[in-house]
Amino acid sequence: MLESGEGLSQVRRSYPERPILGVAGVVFDGERVLLVRRSRPPQQGQWSLPGGALETGEAVRDGVRREIREETGLEVEVRELVEVFERIVHDAEGAVEYHYVLLDYLCEWVGGELAAGCDAADAAWFDRAAVDGPEITAGAPAVIEKAYRLKAGVGIR
């Protein structure tokens, strides 16, 4: 069964046959970082990096740009790979309900107006100290901290 809101590739996201390749962006505005509140499982209601599943035939960097534009309305330049992150979620019986391999990229904001779009209940800029709260998805704070260290080296303000 396919879930509503899925992309063109029509991959089953819950109880997948194989891991799903996802892409996300760590986007900065000075010392603030962009997060979206997830509108559907997994991590529904939590704040996370904007991103989603890569489409069949789509280059990774194009997928990062598309996902950020769809979820936030912003245009970005995709820069350096920050982290490869794996998220495996088991159901109550121990079966794998979700399995994503996520490529998180450092991105430079180049245009657009911030507005929550598809798959995002909200989108907002967060101060550095606020990205380690209980409503932030597990693993995101470490990726964001790594991106803070990386951004100075590649000339992102």
pTM of this structure: 0.87
Q: Average pLDDT in the 21-37 region? A: 96
| Domains defined along the chain, listed by start | 20-153 (3.90.79.10)
Q: What is the pLDDT of residue 1?
A: 33
Contacts 24+ apart (CB under 8 A), 115-119: 115/72, 115/73, 116/36, 116/37, 116/71, 116/72, 117/69, 117/70, 117/71, 117/72, 117/73, 118/5, 118/70, 118/71, 119/5, 119/36, 119/38, 119/39, 119/40, 119/52, 119/70, 119/71
The per-residue pLDDT for range 88-118, each reduced to its tens digit, is 999 999 999 999 999 999 999 999 999 999 8
